Structures are given as structure tokens and as C-alpha cells.
Structure 1
Amino acid sequence: MTNAANAAPAATLLDLADIQGGILRTYGDGFPKGRNFYLTVRDARKGRAFVEALRPKITTAARWKDPNREEPLLRTRNPRVKDIARAEGLPDYPGRVQLWKPKVTLNIGFTFMGLLALGVPTRTLRGMPDEFIDGMETRAAILGDDPFLKQRDTVWQESKGDKRVHIILTLYAQMNPDGTACDELQHETDAIVALCDSLHGGVVLLDGVGPDKGRWQDLSAVMRQDGDRCWPTNKEHFGLSDGFGDPVFSGQFSGEAERLRVAGGGKLMADGSWEPLATGEFLLGYPDEAQEIPGAAMPIAFSRNGTFMAYRKLHEAVGTFHDYIDDQASRYARTFQVPQDEAVLTIKAKMVGRWEDGVPLMVAPTYGAWRRFVAELDQARAAGDKPKLAEIALRFTNFTYASDPVGSKCPLTSHLRRANPRDTLGPTFDASGRSLDGSAIINRRRILRRGLPYGAFDRNTPDTGGDHGIIFMALCTSLFRQFEFVQQQWMQYGLDFNTGSDTCPVIGNHAVTDEPKLVIPVDPDAGRLPFICDHLPQLVEPRGGDYFFIPSMTALRMIGMGIIDPT
């Protein structure tokens, strides 16, 4: 008989049909094209009519079946997940399949001022958290965004008065074999425009997106050409692989799918095992990691199954990135007597924390170790060795930093280690450096990452500013404790990692320090000085965004019908 004390906690049962689908799903996996709309409400009654008209089209988290695949888990750009799926022969969401996979998904969110414009009662709104009420622009100093406010797209610069962004609509679409978006994306776009027109100025679709001041923000996964066909990748414009190690919380996945994803994605326990994070870290109305249900806007049904989103358009200075890497790699190659190509790949990996194909530095800390890892993976694939492939795939997420206290494998201030320090911060350790308390501090700082790249970049064309980067969406129940803490304390400062004022080499605001740099430590026994990438240029610049509330379907009905009773 199983000892009840040692049994895994029961999974949270979620009302999937009440939760907007973008919270639980990374749409970029099966919907590599996208389009975002920003709207303002000028008439509360017509605004509610707009919400009510869209409500039946909103994509929920209810499970669906893909008519084109027998193994739903393979709907992902992450090749590591595919390897596990094939090895285990497991579907993504066993059971509870309710709907056919749509061609286009639609989700909706509201700023605080948007909820006010729609007539949500003041008694309900005053229960919202301060940071959401303030909005992202007001908190620019906290986020390190101050120097970039004037560089934002016009739609965000002019987000005041009758041009204030109140509503965001996010559409994700399947694609055609030639890499274009499916026709349904344009059909849905036309329907949204027509709906706005029918309300005669009550809800207005705002323009001012990008340098061309477009009416919406187009998104697309970075594509790989294969003959006459295009394939979406998990790359972004810097050429780095993304989408690994997203948090896994209780109720998000079912059965075996949770077991496959929780290693490295859940919370690290004191015995070295992994468990799903508490649901309340990502969905309102559930206990969080402190075993508390945070206060929220009333009535409870208005908040429950909703969450908050930090929406950010992040421009990537791709040409600057490659030029800087080439320059630093030349010094690295001379210093360590290695080929230029090896130096380029190594510098990139040390900045990010992973090699360009996603292999973590903690698994393969050197170029040679990485090449051996890749060879091992290729051999397992060629042999069709499913158990081996599954074992290799888990290495992409199932690792800790206990064996690397000085960062000689993975630099302490690399982007990956800052974003999710895992067991780095303890709070207590044994003699070997293993955390005795799992990841208790880290568990309160996790965020769900969503979004897709936007724009295109050709390295053969001079980088004159352009319009290419990532639409980054961070989902969590506490913007202050989770998103803002990570952005300010871990991305903008190095104090928690004993590295002074060094910022994140990839997304940090380097203007906050006089000598922006990345220190690449070496093995303490090697008898060599660390390599320093100095004079880091600004690689990522925010071009706009705001804080949004992503309501449940129940709350959307309340908003659309104007029946919110805060008592």
C-alpha cells in the first residue's frame, strides 16, 4: 500500500471551458502566425456590446483534437518534447478531448482604464492590484524602460484620452505550406473591423503600429525553408532557440503529459524531484505557493480563472548583436586559441545559458561537450532508439546549478540563469552546494511566457533600426511579485548573483551601469583569468506595451452584459 504521506499531491481540477486558452497553451506551437489588435472604448454601452459579440468566438482552454494528427503532443516547435512523445507513445492531453482544433484562436484582455471605460463598478475595480491600476508606463522606472519611452510605437505613445489602449485582441493562426497565414486569419480580421464599424465610433481600432503606423501587429514564427515548403521553428531573430522550461502548474496538463513536462518546469523539491507549481501562481482564485488565495476584485466569480498579463513589444537590434558577437569572438578566439566559429557559438551560449539549439550549458558546458551531445542525439535518432531519445530530451530542462556555484559552466548572469535561478538562491545549502530547501524562493517568481516574433531581418541588409523582435507576454497572478520582480531584481541588477550592477546581457537596460559587461568565468583549477565581454551594446529595446487583465469566460459574460455585482 502506498504511504499517503509520500504520495504526490492530487492535481487541481480546472474548469477548462471557463479559462481563456492562451493562459494554458503556448499557441505558437501549432499556430505560427498571429495578429494583435489594440482598441479603445468611447461608449460604455457599445463597448459592452462589442465584448458580448466577441464572447462566443473566444478560444477557451477546453481540450481539442487535431484532425490532422494522431499524436497531439507533436504539435510543438520544441523538438525535445517530440522526442519524449514518440518514445513514450503518449498524447498531449489524454482524455477530455472536447473540440476540434480551430484554424484561428482569439483571446481578449483589458487594461484597468479599459475596465473603467466599460462601466465595471468602482467597488470591483478598487480590488485590483496597484501595479495593474498604475499601468506599465507609470512603472517604467521599476522596469528599466525610462530611456525607451520616446521610442515606442505611436499607438503606445499616444495611449491617452480618446486614444488610450483599452482592449487587446490576440489572434493566432495556422499556416499554409508556403509559409503564409491561413485564410481564416484575414476573415477574422475583417470581422473585427466590421464589428468596430457597426458600433459607429463606440469602439475604435487604433492604428500607429510600427514605423508604418499599421492598424494591427502582425506576428510570425521564424521560418525554415525546405524546398517549396516552409516550416516554423522555435528560433527568434537573434538565431537562438526559445520555448524551453516554461512553468508547469497543477491542473495545466493531465496524467502523463504533466509527468513529461514537470522536470525542470515545476518546482524543485528538497529531495531533487520535481512537482507542479501551485495553480494560484498563474490563475486567480486558487491557492498559491504560500497556500494563500490572494485578495482579488469582487465578486469572486469576476476574478476566478482569470490572470494578469504584461504585454511587451521588444525590438531586437539584430545587426548590432551579430557585430558585437563577432568582435568579442575574435578576442575570445585569440585568447583561448580556438577557431572563430567556435568562439562565436561559445559567446552566444555564455550570454544566453544555452547553445543555439537549446542544449543547456549545465549539460554541455564546453563546445566539445556540446558537439558530443549533438552527436549522441543524432546517433539515437538514426538508430530509432526511443528510450535513449526520451532520456536525452529530458536533459534540456532537467538540470540544476548546484554543481556550478561560480558559474564556470553557466555564467551567473546569463539570461537563462537570471530568468529562472532554480536552486541558485537556496536559501540553504549542504556542503556540496545542493539546495536543502528546493526552490522555495524561486517558486514565487515564475511567469508563463507567451508570444511570437514579429517582423523580419536579413543580415545581408544593413540594420537601420527596422521593426523586428519579439512580442513578449508574461502571465501571472501578481505582476508585482512575479513579473516586475524578475524584470527589476534579476534582469536589471546582479546583486542577488553577487555580480554588482551587471545587467542581463541580452535584455537588460545597459544604461544603468557605466561599464556594461558579461563576465565569463573559467574553471577555478584552470589557472586562467575570466573572459570579459565588455561595452555591451543595447540589444533589446521596449517599443510599447501595458498591463492587461485576462478574464474568465464567466467574467466576460458579466462585462458584456453589464451585470457585475461587487457585493
Structure 2
Amino acid sequence: MSITDRVDLELDDIQSGVLHERPSPYVGTYLLLRIDDRAAGRELVRRLIPLVDTGRPALDPVHGAWITVAFTYQGLAALGVPHESLDSFAPEFRQGMAARAAQLGDVGDSGPANWEEPLGSGDVHVAIAAISGDADRLRALVERARRADEGLAGVEMIWQQDCYQLPTGRTSFGFRDGIGQPAVEGSGLPSTNPKEEPIKAGEIILGYPDETGELPPMPAPEVLGRNGTYVVFRKLHTRVAAYRQYLRQKAASRADEALLGAKMVGRWQSGAPLALSPDQDDPGLGADPHRRNDFGYADDPRGFKCPAGAHARRANPRDALDDDGGVNVRLHRMIRRGTSYGPALPEGVLEDDGADRGIIFVFAGASLKRQFEFVKTQWLKDGIFIGAPAEKDPLVGPNDSSGAFTIPTTPIRRRLQQLPPFVVTRGGEYCFAPSLRAMRWLAQLDT
């Protein structure tokens, strides 16, 4: 029996967007809706069910289009989910992202007071993500999704964000993204990292054993919780000009700029990891989906190849913590989805043009606290686990121009000082993506 056959996931009941990668290239749209009338909200759910793919996307992954539907705590309450069921959800989900902003490091410019309306307001009840490899098919699917609330006076679409893969195929900072996703046991999708076995299904999908061998806490009744997953949705504005200016100021040459950027991220812009190519970019390595993920950090404990504080190493330390008293990295693995929005800042431009650009970050997993919040607060926001308590993630951390980033070199380490914030949170929500059975249960509620 193969590793991926050890558990039978009920793929026909699991929303496909949870387990499967977006296409490349891609176009997408995020819609947020508010439910003002319980009956209308249930009818909306009933109309959305036929639009949701399960398991593997049923359509051609290059030209097809599919949606994922999720609900906030307030959304489930607006649908009339009984109080005993609402109370069975994770405390973090019930509180919502805005209430936990300070703990997450969303303060100052990133604080809820500065978030884009209606994010974090309590008015967001339903979140719909539509993704496709073809613009025409996306438009057709989004139109069908928008028509789902047609004639429903008690449902209103309150926010829309379009996204697309930039012409470079990279993020607004210029780096290849989406590398290093874990394979999920039972999904049928192979791991791109031969050094990492697929993680247990219960780490991502509720109702299955997780890495501890136990069933993670699940909302009640079982029909509501099983085959569902928690989803984190965040709009992150990227200060690309500030990032380029900082590298230009700190680097001795253009080659040094590229090296400093790679040291901060943990990969070269092509996607080639420093762990395998520490001295120069290797585009061929970066383009190979298997080779670029076939590495660990245990052979580089002091970070001479890839600094321990680099973004990619912080977000997934891999085997670097295997000998570090009781830290099981697999308990903090998660599915990450990132889509770009806004225009690219032209290559070489160092001045901000005022455009809103950035990343729509989406997380999927069985535990908001142990996965997303742990990584965000303990690994990205704090440096204790790498022996540098005052250092935050140099790229996405809540820096305030007072922090530093250490690059181990011989004979003397290099320290980048006065790191400004390069990423600003524009808002976000904690959501729950239910199974198809759960969506039918929601549509048929009679409370």
C-alpha cells in the first residue's frame, strides 16, 4: 500500500479548491457577501452547491474554472446555525481575525482601523473564490456565482477583488511563489519533496487522524464538520518600491542586490533554493518542480547557505528543528495559496506609483491556532526559535524600521539594519469551507 493510500479521503465531498493547486497562468476573483435574511441566505447556499467542484477539479485544469465557498462565524450565525453548533467551532474562528489582530502583529498601518472595508467589520458572511486558467471561463463562472443572489433581497455582494498571475509568473516582489506545498495523505497528489512524506489528512481536512494519531476537534454535528476545513483570507499590500530602495541602499552592486534579496527570502527569484544553490541563481533548478523542493536545512545549521531568519526557512524550517527539543514541524504544516492583485511595478522603478498591488493570501488547515497563528506569531513575528529574539521575518514580518536581519558569513556576519515594513495588511477574515454535505445541511436548516 502506498503512502497516499493509507487513508481514503471522501474526495467527492471535499471542495476541490482546498486540496488542489491553482493553474498557471491563472485569473481569479474573490467575492464577499452579506446575508440580511436567513431564508435568502439558505437559498443562496442551495444555488451555490452546483457550482462547487469536489476532489480534483472536474474541469480541464488549464481552461476550466471552479469556485470555493466558505463562511465566517457571523455568516453561519446569519444562516441560523444552532448555538450549540456555533459554540463547537474553534475559539479563534468564533472571535475572528480582527479581534486577534494585535496577537498576529497586525498593528499600526496593518491594524483593523486601517483595513479596507468591509474586511473585519462583521458584515462579511460568505466568501467565494473563483479561479481559472482562462479569462472567458472565469467570467462565465463569476457571472453564474453573481446570479446566485439574483432576486434574493436579503443577500448583498459587498466586495470584489480580481487577481491574476503577473506576466513574469512571479509575485510583485519578483519571486516565484507557491513552492513547497505539503502533499496530503489520501489526496492522490504526489509530494514534490522526496524528503517529506505526505502529511496526515487530518492536518488539513477535519474528520481524519492528524499527525498525533488523533482526530482534531471538529464542529458539531458531524455532517457540518466532517470534510470541512478552516480558511484564512488576507489581503496584503506589498511595498515593492520600498523593498527595491532598501536593497539598492544596502547593496554594493546589482549582483549584491540579487543576493541580499535571495538571502531575505531563502530562494533566488527563479525559485532556486539557497540550500541547493547558495552562491548564484540557477533558473533551471528554479523551474524544476521536483528538484527545487528536494532539500533540507539540517546540513546548514548556522545558515551560511540559507540564513535561519530567511522567509522561506522561517515559514517551513523543514528538518532544521529535528534535534530541537520537541518541535515537530509537521504539526505546523499547512496549505498556502497566493494570488497576485494589482499591476506590477515596472522593472527597475524605485519610486512608488501609488497603485494598490499585493497578494491575496489564503491558508487551509484543520487548526487556525496550531497552524496559521503559530507560524505567523512564533516563526514569522518572533525570532526566539532561531536564537534571534529581536529579529522578525525580513520580508513579511511586522517590521518598524528598528529591526535587523542577520546573514551569516565568514569571517564576520552581515547585519541588515532598520528594516521597514514591506507588507501591510489591508484586511482579512477567518472562514470555514464546509463539505458538500454540510452545504446541503445549511441550505435545509429550518431553525
| TM-score category of the 2 structures, normalised to the smaller one | over 0.9
Check whether the contact 1:262–1:276 (CA below 8 A) recurs between aligned residues. no
1:19 aligns with 2:19: no
- 1:194 Cα deviation after fit: 3.6
- Local SS of the residue matching 1:223: coil
Mapped partners of 1:426, 1:188: distance in 2: 45
Check whether the contact 2:178–2:338 (CA below 8 A) recurs between aligned residues. no
Q: 1:171 to 1:9 in 2, by over 3 A?
A: closer
Check whether the contact 1:492–1:509 (CA below 8 A) recurs between aligned residues. yes
Check whether the contact 1:120–1:562 (CA below 8 A) recurs between aligned residues. yes
Q: How does 1:147-546 map to 2 (within 5 A)?
A: 147=108, 148-149=110-111, 150-156=113-119, 159-160=121-122, 164-175=123-134, 181-182=135-136, 184-200=137-153, 202-207=154-159, 216-224=160-168, 233=169, 235-254=170-189, 258=190, 261-263=192-194, 273-330=195-252, 340-367=253-280, 370=281, 373-374=282-283, 394-427=290-323, 441-459=328-346, 460=349, 462-511=351-400, 515-522=402-409, 526=410, 528-546=411-429
- Local SS of the residue matching 1:555: helix
Mapped partners of 1:413, 1:377: distance in 2: 23
- 1:294 Cα deviation after fit: 1.7
Check whether the contact 2:272–2:285 (CA below 8 A) recurs between aligned residues. no
Mapped partners of 1:461, 1:406: distance in 2: 33
Q: 1:292 to 1:534 in 2, by over 3 A?
A: same
Check whether the contact 1:249–1:276 (CA below 8 A) recurs between aligned residues. yes
What's the counterpart of residue 88 of structure 2?
A: 127
What's the counterpart of residue 136 of structure 1?
A: 97
Structure 1, unmatched stretches of 5+, are: 67-71, 76-101, 176-180, 208-215, 225-232, 264-272, 331-339, 379-388, 430-436
More helix by share: 1
What's the counterpart of residue 382 of structure 1?
A: none
Q: How does 1:54-65 map to 2 (within 5 A)?
A: 54-62=48-56, 64=58
- 1:447 Cα deviation after fit: 1.1
What's the counterpart of residue 39 of structure 1?
A: 33
Q: 1:451 to 1:560 in 2, by over 3 A?
A: farther
Structure 2, unmatched stretches of 5+, are: none
Q: 1:117 to 1:64 in 2, by over 3 A?
A: closer
Q: 1:63 to 1:320 in 2, by over 3 A?
A: closer
Residue range with higher mean Cα deviation, 418-427 or 471-480: 418-427
- 1:156 Cα deviation after fit: 1.6
Q: 1:196 to 1:151 in 2, by over 3 A?
A: same
Question: Aligned letter for 2:236?
Answer: L
Q: 1:31 to 1:115 in 2, by over 3 A?
A: farther
Check whether the contact 2:34–2:124 (CA below 8 A) recurs between aligned residues. yes
Check whether the contact 1:311–1:546 (CA below 8 A) recurs between aligned residues. yes
- 1:10 Cα deviation after fit: 4.2
**Identity across aligned pairs (percent)?**
34
- 1:366 Cα deviation after fit: 1.1
1:112 aligns with 2:73: yes
What's the counterpart of residue 430 of structure 2?
A: 547
- 1:17 Cα deviation after fit: 1.4
Q: Which has the larger radius of gyration?
A: 1
- 1:251 Cα deviation after fit: 1.1
TM-score (norm 2): 0.93
- Local SS of the residue matching 2:308: coil
Question: Aligned letter for 1:443?
Answer: R
Mapped partners of 1:442, 1:115: distance in 2: 32
Residue range with higher mean Cα deviation, 440-449 or 8-17: 8-17
- 1:30 Cα deviation after fit: 4.5
Could you list the per-position Cα deviations for residues 462-481 of structure 1 after superposition, in whole angstroms to 9, with x for gaps in the alignment?
41542100000011100001
Tell me the number of residue pairs that the alignment of Structure 1 and Structure 2 aligns: 443
Q: 1:244 to 1:9 in 2, by over 3 A?
A: closer
Check whether the contact 1:311–1:547 (CA below 8 A) recurs between aligned residues. yes
TM-score (norm 1): 0.74
- 1:219 Cα deviation after fit: 0.5
What's the counterpart of residue 94 of structure 1?
A: none
- 1:401 Cα deviation after fit: 1.1
Mapped partners of 1:169, 1:296: distance in 2: 22
RMSD: 2.3
What's the counterpart of residue 47 of structure 2?
A: 53
- Local SS of the residue matching 2:442: helix
